[in-house]
Structure 1
């Protein structure tokens, strides 16, 4: 109706989600706020990028129409696909990156209370990869995996590392970029995001004095836990058979890169037996054997696999069977990744809220079921009156029985295995980008 005020979809009605002031701040700081009235203003484009991850199998125009994201226009009610592409280009990646940083830290801190281990918030740092659309721009910028046979992967890939809460699966911080960059270099950029009074669990590939000493020497009560490598060497400092102090030599290469590193560094070694009967030695900066019992520390390491689960939820459940990102340029890919991470955290945030209200842990809830419910509820936001939204949220949370995982799936462990070699029919020979 002409002259009728348009009601923006009230996305923040589901839980206390993204504060509109965060969006306004992100747009203002990055210079993307516009006084000029557009049919698809910057605030709506932010939600569009997030919604593209929530509705992975719908085209961009379909998502705009489905969620009523555009302002009404009596002359031209439809938005051309090229206009949507231009709107995303105007927005860029910076507002999404800033918005993720603002929201991720706030949401994680909100849900750490009561979910710590002996006063320490628990996190994991690990890496994964995402597949980008096969365009010359993406292949040149991100690169791709090259196999020993000389065959290069059919699609460009980008490397992704996250700092993920083990209690809620909320992603607190992330870094990502070209595939060829070593995970250790990415991990260094994540260390400053580790909060005080925390324990961060690493995979053994991150065993490095330069990396781990930075964790414990900056901030307050920042500790780490990591399995030793098979070829790790050290000097034992006491005679306890399974829980003892060790001293290790810092490699000359590490000291050359960082001259402030000491000649030696110390850690606590705990010998354990995994659920599969394998002997494992865990190294940690938590040296006090009375304050930090070895058995409980071993249990904390068993939780490390949860970050693997979070990657599966993001890549397989949210992005679906189509593992390839839809964007054709590097900047659009980065924007899409920030939107996907925001969408993932929105689902995990709602699961944390539900779990707290009914007294269960968030990891006992089904991500897939929660995602389906939230997709359904978002579909109603654009056409529902605000007064019905609390009732919808209450009904969503009352369906806890459908959200709970079967008991036999709780506490499961997903060990890493050697992947099957790729078939020669799923790759194509391409020239390496110089």
Structure 2
């Protein structure tokens, strides 16, 4: 029995600030075209579906994850179809034309667009955004299912299971997130069998000296720590209890200074050590807590960053777990998240998914700032639903956009 194609449904009136171009404000057309040119995949002639529109379409795929490709294209086309500031009827295209348009892109162009546009949103006055003047960011990883196509299997692989092979191939992803805003600042995608820290390693290049980066045990290694240190950022990472960290100086707050060595041999010879501070604590009042938690940090001064403050601060890292819930449950609508049938298009869709999430978070933060309300009181789910209802009627993806992000009025 043939599967019915799913449409978008009817929508309500769009808020005024969205009609000025949400996606193009967060991802300006000028930047998109510059990166498309740099990656040699921009449209060389006038097309019904130019390359810049394909980028916005790739973002919209995540907003309408249950809709047919043609229906998503119609939503994008209506946003693009403006002439003399008046809406005109968009053309209709078939699925094969959409696939051909997507094949002219490259995922590296979308990644580059993201790296220029995925900017921190939090300001110093925002709660839980900074510590000792450093912007709080966190890294984490997860897995996403992709369609069971031979090319995807070869590129990403199957996860194992107790009964053998799992149902769908999976890719492994890692994200760098601003804790306060949940804005994704960078993302990487790799094969399922690749080590988690290898997938995440390129994210360290996005750290800046004004950041404090928190990380979990799965990412910690000497080379990884050294790479983070070289960015000038401060680090607060959880460390396995099995790693030998000799006490060199006990501090008044119970933490101690130590050296992080690349190997047991280097530790014996005391060469290539990196100065770190170790914080070990227990959570006796928390059910099912571990016997001991160990954090290591580049913040060596216990007066500037007391151990108790850092232990409490580390739990802000769990905000990145909520980001994956937003991506998979609320934006992905609890379905198999990525639906493209080739590795190239899977990667394109992944970065479109990340950028769509950022657009929602950008809108939430701008709206909260204009309304003078706490940003964490704005509903992610309600904002996504608003976008889904109204994007087709909004002109939210205009053919021209400001070169810089301008706060939207609520």
TM-score, scaled relative to structure 2: 0.82
Q: Retained in 2: the 8 A contact 1:242–1:270?
A: no
Alpha-carbon offset, residue 245 of structure 1: 2.0
Superposition pairs for residues 108-127 of structure 1, below 5 Å? 108=120, 110-114=121-125, 115-127=129-141
Question: What residue in structure 2 maps to residue 276 of structure 1?
Answer: 286
Name the CA shift for 1:68/1:207 in 2 (closer, same or farther; >3 Å).
Answer: closer
Structure 2 counterparts to residues 157-172 of structure 1, below 5 A: 157-172=170-185
Whether the 8 Å CA contact 2:57–2:72 is kept in 1: the answer is yes
2:144 to 130, 135, 153: 130
The 1:10–1:276 alpha-carbon spacing in structure 2 relative to 1, beyond 3 Å, is: same
Aligned residues: CA RMSD: 3.0
What does 1:16-415 align with in structure 2 at a 5 Å threshold?
16-69=25-78, 77-104=91-118, 107-108=119-120, 110-114=121-125, 115-147=129-161, 149=163, 151-216=164-229, 218-220=230-232, 222-240=233-251, 243-248=254-259, 250-252=261-263, 262-274=271-283, 276=286, 278=289, 279-382=292-395, 397=410
In the alignment, is the contact (CA less than 8 A) between 2:279 and 2:294 conserved in 1? yes
Distance in 2 separating the partners of 1:112 and 1:42? 34
8 Å contact kept, 2:328–2:337: no
Relative contact order (C-alpha < 8 Å, sep 6+): which is higher? 2
Question: What CA deviation, in whole Å up to 9, does each residue of 1:194-217 have, x standing for no partner?
Answer: 11121111112223222112212x
User: Contact 1:124/1:165 (CA < 8 Å) preserved in 2?
Assistant: yes
Structure 2 residue matching 1:299: 3-state secondary structure: helix
Q: 1:140: how far off?
A: 0.8
Answer yes or no: is the 8 Å Cα contact 2:239–2:296 preserved in 1: yes
What is the CA-CA distance between 1:381 and the residue it aligns to?
Answer: 1.2
Q: Deviations over 1:237-294 (max 9, x none)?
A: 2345752324246243897xxxxx9443332122334361644232211110111122
- CA deviation map 1:91-134 (0-9, x unaligned): 23232122111111xx31x5344442221011111111111000
Question: Per the alignment, do residues 38 and 14 of structure 1 end up closer, same or farther by CA in structure 2, a change over 3 Å counting?
Answer: closer
SS at match of 1:243: coil
Q: 1:210–1:254: 8 Å Cα contact kept in structure 2?
A: no
Distance change in 2, residues 1:88/1:307 (3 Å): same
Report how far residue 233 of structure 1 moved. Answer: 2.2
Could you tell me whether the CA contact under 8 Å between 2:138 and 2:214 is conserved in 1? yes
Unpaired segments of 5 or more residues in structure 1?
A: 1-8, 256-260, 387-392, 398-434
Q: How many residues align?
A: 369
**In the TM superposition, what is the alpha-carbon distance from 1:58 to its structure 2 partner?**
0.7
The runs of 4+ residues in structure 1 deviating greater than 6 Å are 383-386
The gaps in structure 2 that reach 5 residues or longer are 1-17, 83-87, 400-407
Task: Please list the CA deviations of residues 10-34 of structure 1 after superposition, one character each: whole Å capped at 9, or x if unmatched.
Answer: 6625793221211111221111222
8 A Cα contact 1:243 1:268, kept in partner: no
- Point out the more displaced range, 293-302 or 135-144: 293-302
**TM-score for both structures, normalised by structure 1:** 0.77
Cα distance in 2, alignment partners of residues 90 and 155 from structure 1:
27
Query: How far, CA to CA, are the matches of 1:184 and 1:312 in structure 2?
Result: 21
Instruction: Return the alpha-carbon distance in structure 1 between the equivalents of residues 183 and 22 of structure 2.
Output: 20
Give SS of 1:98's match: helix
Cα contact 2:21–2:398 (8 A) shared by 1:
no
For residues 161 and 384 of structure 1, the distance between their equivalents in structure 2, rounded to whole angstroms, comes to 28
Indicate the larger mover: 359-368 or 334-343. 359-368
Task: For residue 39 of structure 1, report the CA deviation from its aligned partner.
Answer: 1.4
The 10-residue stretch of structure 1 (303-312 or 24-33) with the greater mean CA deviation from structure 2: 24-33
